Chains A and B, each alone.
Chain A
Amino acid sequence: MVSIELKNISKSFGPVTANKDINIFAKGGEILGLLGENGAGKTTLMNVLSGLYRPDSGTISINNEEKTFDSPRDAISAGIGMVHQHFMLVPIFSVTENVILGNEETGFANFLKLSESERKVKEISEKYSLFVDPKEKIERLPVGSQQRVEIIKVLFRSAEVLIFDEPTAVLTPQEVAELFNIMNSLKATGKAIIFITHKLHEVLEVCDRISILRAGEIVGEADPKVASNKELANMMVGRPVNLSLERRSSKPGKILLDVKNLSVLSEKLDLAVSDISFDVKEGEIVGVAGVQGNGQTELVEALTGLRSSLSGKISYFGQMVPNMNPRKIHQIGVRHIPEDRQKSGIIGNFSVGENLILNNYYAAPYSKHLKMDWDVVSIESQKIIKNFDIRTPSNDTLAQNLSGGNQQKLVVGREMSSHVDFLIASQPTRGIDVGSIEYIHEQLIKSRNAGNGILLVSTELEEILALSDRIIVLFRGRIIKEFESNPAPEQIGLAMAGHSI
């Protein structure tokens, strides 16, 4: 069986040391969990292992043979495959095309043997129960299936070492359970798996060993048979973390957001949101649950003025919003944490400081008499960086160089730091570590208790259950079910799958 060992790996980006003298190993027939705070260096380490980055020093050996990877191609031929934190799929290609890319089977004059490849993809998908239609276009697949395609990609290259970088961040509970089945069956066939996640119970559930990273260094190992959530969190963060939330029951007041018969078209002119009505009151968190792609995106875009609605009414604080622009909506006190941080939350090649004032750079105190006051920007952004624990070398660092979770914290910090009356939070804690989730959840509850309204859109069932006072479930653009108080997770799960009873 395969065994790999990383010895004394170090990697820095300019002044930032992402990995320092790291030693880990993994064996076939075993799942290694990799835990660590945002920015601890997990993704960097795995990118080194998969040949995308070259380490500054250190060695990788496979079956006790030392290897150097000049490109991902070398890593692939050495049997290493990676499912990336941000999916690496070409949306307009079919499943098969994505799978074979870079390893195409060709015949005369380099012609693709597409039907042969399709058969192979089908074989793999059946062998490992990774069900997906080989001919379907990626852009038409739900996230869960896209994930399966990523796994098929790795298996197609007969990888012996599989790396999963936060694969569960975008999956529903059912899909996570499915993924774990797949991982276990891969393990049973003798493959080595490295699994990264921020959800501690997941690590405890599937891993055989756990390595913990902090600030670029390995700080210890843990045994999932004996370790607890709390111990893991403490090791990661280096201080005790409070994992359970305390909240008072809500005292709903006036209606803040009122949505009536709203219909919204998607990019492709589908009716993405069809005829939905609901409201959110003062001092209330309303959770919107649902499998990704059931209209959440379009709903939120319509509510924030990013997309015009087809019909229906939206009003905030009793004021109508007939195609009001995003700035207007922001000015009346509505804040928005967008679901896709990289697409609409940050500007990658702006600095952290600039990103932190994106939503009101034009107003005092940042802007005075046609001129920006960068000193104030710097002072204010330092505050947000400190409060939300954004791990960045400075506020002049480009946002795109932050780790995934820290980019997320940047967006959340920006939206929750200025005066808020109503918050629309889409996947606010996607990819964030336990320590920071604790803080963000506290902030959300605090904001609710202060009488603000919050619309929480999340595919994370636990988050919805932990925070919401009321829950609505979206299915194919409609509200398929509403829950007044805390229901059992299974009930919501059923509704999310389209069962209205």
Chain B
Amino acid sequence: MNMEVKSSYHQIKQTQLIGYILIALGIFSTFVFSVGVEGDAVFRLSRPRDPLALQNLVVPASPYNFFVSFVLTFLGIRLLIKRMSNYSSLYLGLGFFLLITCFLVWATAGKSFSLTGMLQATVVRATPIALAGLAGVLSERVAVINIGIEGMLLVGAFAGAVFGSIFGGLIGLIFAIFVGALFGLLLAVLVITYRVDQIIAGVAINILALGTTSFLTSHLLKSHPHLNDAPIFKPIKIPFISDLPVIGPTFFQHNFFVYGALILIIASTFYLFNTGIGLRLRAVGEHPKAADTLGVNVLKLRYLNVTLAGMVAGFGGAWFTIGSVGRFDEAMTGGRGFIGLAAMIFGRWHPVGALMAALVFGFADSLQQKLAILKTPIPSEFLAMAPYIATIVLVAGLIGRARAPNAIGKPYIKE
């Protein structure tokens, strides 16, 4: 009986809130995206050379946006009338999706825009964020906060560039992972054995990584440019499916980093949630003392996962150089490590969740970039904020409060 009371109370509040949000979105898109917009929005789905080329998608801007605004408002009112719905969060997701289409149609009205190009860029840009998020998941699942991911990305990028320049891409990648592992191990030693405050240790690692790579860049790479000229991993087209329109370019025409990230995410999901060692790892993050009383070696498992996290971050870092531009620049990771941590939280400390969140962030990133080309009246920095705000609302509405592993941040002391 209690359960019913609880869920209905919670649901009514949530349904109402979402109803109001949808109505607000509908009104907003009526006045901002629909009134006074002229022309058609042309979305290019294929390049002319593509084997299975699709025709351009032509959307009459004003009618489409008026229609969608109406649908949004209608959905909102419907929720308010129903008072309670099990699917209210689905409505919210749908609402935001529709709003984004409205926005794109408005921005593209009278022009043309490569939709497929944007989706492809989304996946590319999500890759380092997803890997950073995965590194976060791996270490926080054993209760070690890892602020140092940004630094680990940076050293991975650096090692990838330098060793890639000397020995070629593959060896560069291996070194990037190795250096990442070393930094992971350093964090592990500091926080697990010496019980240094985890935030402070992470910040120290970031400063160390930034300082070292910047120093080496200005004193070594500047004078030896051949050390900063690495080959870039070539795209691998997956046979057959890469020829599919839209889907092919979006998912199946990337280089090894994208596929590698996907494989790592799937593998880590099994590792954490379906294996014996995964069970122990999660126990160590939730209730280390309980694990200890059953003979699980708490410290060893923490070492293991924090080092693995370093390796994953090193791999993600290598994307910036040998996976993307081929050279290292100072502080080139630009806070992706921290965005990865946000993806981890939005993804509720689950590898797949982190990937999904990373895709949203990647979408924001690529949207901002493409919109600069369309020359909308709104400053692109401002536009770039919108998806993040949407993410926050979506996460609050769809997912609710996320819970970090219970023992997070606490060192384990045996006696």
Q: Do the two shown chains form a genuine complex with each other?
A: yes
**Cross-chain contact B6 with A268 (CB below 8 angstroms):** yes
Q: Is A497 an interface residue (CB 8 A)?
A: no
Q: Which 4 A-B pairs have the closest CB atoms?
A: A73-B295, A102-B294, A104-B276, A88-B290
In the complex, what residue of chain A is closest to B294 when comparing beta carbons? Answer: A102
Q: Is B82 an interface residue (CB 8 A)?
A: no
> A73-B295, A111-B274, A269-B10 known; A101 and B280 CB under 8 Å?
yes
**Cross-chain contact B292 with A52 (CB below 8 angstroms):** yes
Q: Is A97 an interface residue (CB 8 A)?
A: yes
In the complex, what residue of chain A is closest to B290 when comparing beta carbons? Answer: A88
Q: Is B293 an interface residue (CB 8 A)?
A: yes
Least CB distance, A311 to chain B, in whole angstroms: 12
Q: Is B216 an interface residue (CB 8 A)?
A: no
Chain A residues within an 8 Å CB radius of B293: 50, 52, 72, 82, 84, 88
The docked-state distance in angstroms from the alpha carbon of A442 to that of B98 is 69
In the complex, what residue of chain B is closest to A51 when comparing beta carbons? Answer: B295
Q: Is A188 an interface residue (CB 8 A)?
A: no
Q: Is A476 an interface residue (CB 8 A)?
A: yes
Q: How many residue pairs at the A-B interface have CB separations less than 8 Å?
A: 96
Least CB distance, B414 to chain A, in whole angstroms: 8
**Cross-chain contact A112 with B294 (CB below 8 angstroms):** no
Least CB distance, A147 to chain B, in whole angstroms: 14
> Which of B286, B289, B291 has a CB less than 8 Å from the CB of A102?
B291
Q: Is B277 an interface residue (CB 8 A)?
A: yes
> A72-B292, A112-B274 known; A101 and B2 CB under 8 Å?
no
**Can you offer 21 A-B residue contacts whose CB atoms are under 8 A?**
A72-B292, A84-B293, A88-B289, A89-B287, A93-B283, A97-B279, A98-B290, A100-B279, A101-B283, A101-B290, A102-B280, A102-B296, A110-B277, A111-B276, A112-B274, A112-B278, A112-B279, A270-B5, A271-B2, A271-B6, A476-B2
Least CB distance, B270 to chain A, in whole angstroms: 8
The docked-state distance in angstroms from the alpha carbon of A111 to that of B267 is 12
The docked-state distance in angstroms from the alpha carbon of A268 to that of B401 is 11
Chain B residues within an 8 Å CB radius of A82: 293
> A52-B293, A88-B289, A101-B283 known; A477 and B2 CB under 8 Å?
yes
Q: Is B3 an interface residue (CB 8 A)?
A: yes
> A84-B293, A90-B286 known; A13 and B415 CB under 8 Å?
yes
Q: Is B212 an interface residue (CB 8 A)?
A: no
13 more A-B residue pairs beyond the given contacts A268-B6, A271-B6, with a C-beta to C-beta distance below 8 A: A72-B295, A74-B295, A88-B290, A88-B294, A91-B286, A100-B279, A102-B294, A102-B295, A102-B296, A110-B277, A111-B270, A112-B275, A271-B5
Chain A residues within an 8 Å CB radius of B283: 90, 93, 101
**Cross-chain contact A93 with B286 (CB below 8 angstroms):** yes
Q: Which of B1-57 contact A (CB under 8 A)?
A: 1-3, 5-6, 9-10
The docked-state distance in angstroms from the alpha carbon of A101 to that of B296 is 8
Least CB distance, A307 to chain B, in whole angstroms: 15
Least CB distance, B5 to chain A, in whole angstroms: 4
Chain B residues within an 8 Å CB radius of A97: 279
In the complex, what residue of chain B is closest to A477 when comparing beta carbons? Answer: B2
In the complex, what residue of chain B is closest to A294 when comparing beta carbons? Answer: B2
**Cross-chain contact B276 with A112 (CB below 8 angstroms):** yes
Q: Which of A261-294 contact B (CB under 8 A)?
A: 265, 268-272, 274
Q: Is A152 an interface residue (CB 8 A)?
A: no
Least CB distance, A305 to chain B, in whole angstroms: 22
**Cross-chain contact A101 with B5 (CB below 8 angstroms):** no
Q: Is A109 an interface residue (CB 8 A)?
A: yes
Least CB distance, A8 to chain B, in whole angstroms: 20
Chain A residues within an 8 Å CB radius of B278: 112
Q: How many residues of B contact A (CB 8 A)?
A: 30
**Cross-chain contact B295 with A88 (CB below 8 angstroms):** no
> A73-B295, A270-B5, A270-B6 known; A89 and B290 CB under 8 Å?
yes
Q: Which of A75-124 contact B (CB under 8 A)?
A: 75-76, 82, 84, 88-93, 97-98, 100-106, 109-112
> A112-B279, A271-B9 known; A90 and B295 CB under 8 Å?
no
Least CB distance, B406 to chain A, in whole angstroms: 8
**Cross-chain contact A270 with B2 (CB below 8 angstroms):** yes
The docked-state distance in angstroms from the alpha carbon of A7 to that of B183 is 47
Q: Is A71 an interface residue (CB 8 A)?
A: yes
> Which of A71, A92, A106, A265 has a CB less than 8 Å from the CB of B276?
A106
Q: Is A317 an interface residue (CB 8 A)?
A: no
The docked-state distance in angstroms from the alpha carbon of A201 to that of B252 is 72
Chain A residues within an 8 Å CB radius of B290: 88-90, 98, 101
The docked-state distance in angstroms from the alpha carbon of A89 to that of B2 is 25
Chain A residues within an 8 Å CB radius of B277: 110
The docked-state distance in angstroms from the alpha carbon of A109 to that of B294 is 22
Chain A residues within an 8 Å CB radius of B275: 106, 109-112
> A53-B415, A88-B289, A111-B274 known; A104 and B295 CB under 8 Å?
no
> A76-B294, A84-B293, A90-B287 known; A476 and B1 CB under 8 Å?
yes
In the complex, what residue of chain B is closest to A71 when comparing beta carbons? Answer: B295
The docked-state distance in angstroms from the alpha carbon of A112 to that of B334 is 40
Chain B residues within an 8 Å CB radius of A103: 294
The docked-state distance in angstroms from the alpha carbon of A90 to that of B405 is 11
Chain B residues within an 8 Å CB radius of A112: 274-276, 278-279
A-contact bits for B304-322, CB 8 A (1 contact / 0 none): 0000000000000000000
Least CB distance, A266 to chain B, in whole angstroms: 8
Chain B residues within an 8 Å CB radius of A265: 6, 9
> Which of B1, B10, B279, B415 has a CB less than 8 Å from the CB of A101?
B279
Least CB distance, B273 to chain A, in whole angstroms: 9
**Cross-chain contact B294 with A101 (CB below 8 angstroms):** yes
Chain A residues within an 8 Å CB radius of B270: 111
Q: Which of B214-270 contact A (CB under 8 A)?
A: 270
In the complex, what residue of chain A is closest to B289 when comparing beta carbons? Answer: A88
Chain A residues within an 8 Å CB radius of B9: 265, 269, 271
- Residue among B5, B289, B290, B296 with most chain A CB within 10 A: B290
**Cross-chain contact B6 with A101 (CB below 8 angstroms):** no
Least CB distance, A130 to chain B, in whole angstroms: 18
**Cross-chain contact A76 with B6 (CB below 8 angstroms):** no
Chain B residues within an 8 Å CB radius of A13: 415
Chain B residues within an 8 Å CB radius of A102: 280, 291, 294-296
> A92-B286, A93-B283, A101-B283 known; A110 and B294 CB under 8 Å?
no
B-contact bits for A459-476, CB 8 A (1 contact / 0 none): 000000000000000001
**Cross-chain contact B6 with A110 (CB below 8 angstroms):** no
The docked-state distance in angstroms from the alpha carbon of A51 to that of B290 is 13
Least CB distance, A126 to chain B, in whole angstroms: 23
Chain A residues within an 8 Å CB radius of B5: 270-271, 274
Least CB distance, B82 to chain A, in whole angstroms: 20
In the complex, what residue of chain A is closest to B271 when comparing beta carbons? Answer: A110
Q: Which of A345-373 contact B (CB under 8 A)?
A: none
Chain B residues within an 8 Å CB radius of A71: 295, 297
**Cross-chain contact B6 with A269 (CB below 8 angstroms):** yes
The docked-state distance in angstroms from the alpha carbon of A271 to that of B1 is 9
In the complex, what residue of chain B is closest to A92 when comparing beta carbons? Answer: B286
Least CB distance, A125 to chain B, in whole angstroms: 18
Least CB distance, A156 to chain B, in whole angstroms: 10
The docked-state distance in angstroms from the alpha carbon of A103 to that of B294 is 8
Q: Which of B68-91 contact A (CB under 8 A)?
A: none
**Cross-chain contact A110 with B415 (CB below 8 angstroms):** no
The docked-state distance in angstroms from the alpha carbon of A111 to that of B278 is 9
B-contact bits for A474-495, CB 8 A (1 contact / 0 none): 0011000000000000000000
The docked-state distance in angstroms from the alpha carbon of A116 to that of B362 is 42
The docked-state distance in angstroms from the alpha carbon of A74 to that of B5 is 48
The docked-state distance in angstroms from the alpha carbon of A364 to that of B110 is 75
Chain A residues within an 8 Å CB radius of B3: 270
The docked-state distance in angstroms from the alpha carbon of A50 to that of B294 is 10
